Structure 1
Amino acid sequence: TVNSIELYPAQRYSVILHADQVISNYRIRALSNTGVGAHNFTNGVNSAILRYVGAPEEDPTTSQLPSSEMITFREGDLHPLENPGAPGQPYPGGADVVLNFTLGFDPVNILFKMNGVVFQSPTVPVLLQILSGVQHAQDLLPIGGVYTLPARKVIEINFWGADASGGPHPFHLHGHAFDVVKTSDSLEYNFKNPVRRDTTLVAMNNQTTIRFVTDNAGPWFLHCHIDLHLSLGLAVVLAEDTRDTRKDDTIPADWKELCPIYDGQSSSQLP
């Protein structure tokens, strides 16, 4: 049982609330830990009201708990109820494919990097390029922008939040839920019943490790879910099982009209 949680962009929680307090009105407070805007609760900012049935319709008078009384949890303390256990062997590196990503920041050009590469959006969508079969997936973007993964293999990804990368960074993977075998708030690995989710935290000067199985063919975006960081290059594409992607999906006729339509737009018509 806790009385507070840390929630990062793209993460979701379901909670059970025990309504065992005196009938009244109570504040639910959500204070951001970084960014611009109001970093307080003045005049109800960053707040909601939990109102018991029978309570008067008035603002709560409760005050914020001091940090010393906040009970939160470590991400590593969460465990899946269904099919617990990470794929692969129960030791670091015990996977078919191991990828290592070091996060970095270029303060001169104000850009983020993964393994020294700034993600650049292609002029033609990655999926469309894979379906065309003209290029290999790893040739679709600048080197380091796309990583090709084989089908039906265990993948381990190690994220290292280097000192220059800032952070924390909530990393989100499209197309999969993954097992976080090493969370950013622990030095220990857990292969038996690690937390399973699609967004996890990569902290500065720390390592986070995830595992998943390539059982969902397609190009999947792996990126920081802070929009500003994503727009500044903190992302890669995992091109999973490109052979089955081409086999299972055909190019609709309408798709062939998209590029000429896009190219025909003036700069004022584009975002």
Structure 2
Amino acid sequence: MLSSALLSFALALPALAIGPNTDLNLVNAAVAPDGFSRSAVTANGVIPGPLLTANVGDDFNINVVNGLTDNNDPLARILPGRQFVGGWSRVRHPMPHRCERFVPILVLHRWTGEPGTYWYHSHLSTQYCDGLRGAMVVYDPNDPHADLYDVDDELTVITLADWYHAPVHTLGAVPTSVATLINGLGRSLGANISVTQGRRYRFRLVSVSCDPNYRFSIDSHTMTIIEVDGVNHAEHNVDEIQIFAGQRYSFVLNANQDINNYWLCSHLLLALHRLTIHLPQVRANPNVGTTGFANGINSAILRYVGAPAGDPTTPVVGATNSLREADLTPLVTRLVPSLAQQGGADVNLNLAIAFAGGAFTVNGAHYASPTVPVLLQILSGAHTAAELLPAGSVYTLPPNAVVELSIPGGTVGSPHPIHLHGHNFWVVRSAGSTVYNYQTAPIRDVVSVGAAGDNVTIRFETDNAGPWFLHCGADTIANSVQPDAWDTLCPRYNSLTPDQLGAQ
């Protein structure tokens, strides 16, 4: 029993950074990040997966080897949180591993690093909820914010994740998580983040959540936001950040408090999960699930070097200066392209999200994964949106145009985070605001569409050709049913000869 507990603890420790030329081995592993042991889907046997790093301009060459053995886990498709321009993948033997005659599958992902904070994860079903997710950082030796901080390394990356005690696809449509993991650890294993008094830290906060959003705050300290979803922004001081699934923020923390131990607490919610991390008290209290902080639950510890071992004793202090997305300004401002008026882009679309018959729809269409990828449909001769599957879910856009998307909020399960692959976008109107900003709008790639009465509006340029995915960042909601055509793949795969399979 002791040895298995120690093994699980080791599996949950933050992994050392790797990259940009490296292997990611996808394997099933027994982990117990919150004290409960279960089989997880992992990269290199750890949760979260190892931090991938590079410097700006470096070429990432990531060999992803599928060694999953659990019959519940089909072939994983790993994607960065943002598709980089010019990125591509080469796949050998793209068959699901659950076939009887399984051989490992090698996928080479290659792209050029752009500076900022990102994440990678499986995009198959709800697989990343079961562990296959991790952070990615591209460092800039000429960072324009470099004079604001002293420390920026793998130890200043903070991941926030929800956790479940069974494979998520077995738990129903939108399950409630049982724990929040900070850097892959729940309270029972004693997660710690260490700082030295007098130093300034660039923390990179990454939500790798499947569903919850979190309110992150640090008592008695100011967080100076300098980066949003990989885009440098002007310095902006707050004491609380609401962060949604897939979003990333870099903030500078000045460790100028007394040498002591400070609570770092977390708790998960359904639909509107809330994580509040306080320094000196770091706490998170959900509106569903196990709430509160008795005996240090939903908590970790931020420990100043030199502080004695032990739990913090500081009181909870509420936030007074929460982040408003509309207050963010890019470091290098650029006028939002096209006309400075609502509906003033080249292409203007309203995307109405609804829930009916047990499924979410966009403009009345329910997305179901096509049996043939959209790009292959195009290469096979389909030319119009009406010819492409899934019907009603594919929009064709002209090249080098400006597109405006208006997305009203308030659908069941709100607020929903919306992520666009392949592009950053201007947030012309943010959730909680009625103002349209065409001069200094924040730029990012994941946005909350807010509550009833909101009409979040974004603009982007079609300067990165290809089929791109626009989806809810909450994976339990974005998940679609696996197509029936998958059922035919194993018999076809098992019938292949060694020559057809090629060298392994």
The alignment's TM-score, normalised by the length of structure 1, stands at 0.79
Is the partner of 1:51 in helix, strand or coil?
A: strand
Is the partner of 2:376 in helix, strand or coil?
A: helix
Indicate the structure with greater strand content.
Answer: 2
Preserved CA contact (<8 Å) 1:111 1:232: no
Q: Are 1:123 and 2:363 matched, yes or no?
A: no
Letter in 2 for 1:126: V
Letter in 1 for 2:300: A
Preserved CA contact (<8 Å) 2:326 2:430: yes
Letter in 1 for 2:343: G
Unaligned runs of 5+ in 2: 1-236, 272-287, 495-504
Letter in 1 for 2:380: S
Preserved CA contact (<8 Å) 1:156 1:210: yes
Match of 2:18 in 1: none
Out of 305, 309, 315, the position equivalent to 1:53 is 305
Instruction: Describe how 1:1-271 pairs up with structure 2 within 5 A.
Output: 1-34=237-270, 37-66=289-318, 69-106=319-356, 109-161=357-409, 163-205=410-452, 206-231=454-479, 263-265=488-490
Q: How many residues align?
A: 237
Letter in 2 for 1:29: C
Looking at structure 1, the residues matched to 380 and 295 of structure 2 have their Cα atoms a distance apart, in angstroms, of 56
Looking at structure 2, the residues matched to 24 and 10 of structure 1 have their Cα atoms a distance apart, in angstroms, of 32
Residue 30 of structure 1 deviates from its aligned partner by 3.5
Identity of counterpart residues, as a percentage? 47
Looking at structure 1, the residues matched to 419 and 320 of structure 2 have their Cα atoms a distance apart, in angstroms, of 27
Is the partner of 1:228 in helix, strand or coil?
A: helix
Residue 71 of structure 1 deviates from its aligned partner by 2.5
Match of 1:256 in 2: none
Deviation string 1:156-175 (CA, Å, 9 cap, x unpaired) is 000012x5544000000000
Deviation string 1:110-157 (CA, Å, 9 cap, x unpaired) is 111111111111001112222223453442224321000010000000
Preserved CA contact (<8 Å) 1:165 1:204: no
Match of 1:247 in 2: none
Looking at structure 2, the residues matched to 70 and 213 of structure 1 have their Cα atoms a distance apart, in angstroms, of 37
Is the partner of 1:60 in helix, strand or coil?
A: coil
Unaligned runs of 5+ in 1: 234-259
If asked which structure has higher relative contact order (CA below 8 Å, sep 6+), I would say 1
Residue 53 of structure 1 deviates from its aligned partner by 1.6
Looking at structure 2, the residues matched to 219 and 153 of structure 1 have their Cα atoms a distance apart, in angstroms, of 15
Letter in 2 for 1:61: T
Looking at structure 2, the residues matched to 262 and 135 of structure 1 have their Cα atoms a distance apart, in angstroms, of 28
Looking at structure 2, the residues matched to 197 and 190 of structure 1 have their Cα atoms a distance apart, in angstroms, of 14
Is the partner of 1:200 in helix, strand or coil?
A: strand
- 1:30/1:89 CA distance change after superposition, 3 Å: farther
Deviation string 1:177-230 (CA, Å, 9 cap, x unpaired) is 100000011011111111111000112322100001000001111011111211
The alignment's TM-score, normalised by the length of structure 2, stands at 0.44
Preserved CA contact (<8 Å) 2:354 2:361: yes
Is the partner of 1:88 in helix, strand or coil?
A: coil
Looking at structure 1, the residues matched to 437 and 300 of structure 2 have their Cα atoms a distance apart, in angstroms, of 36
RMSD between aligned residues:
2.5
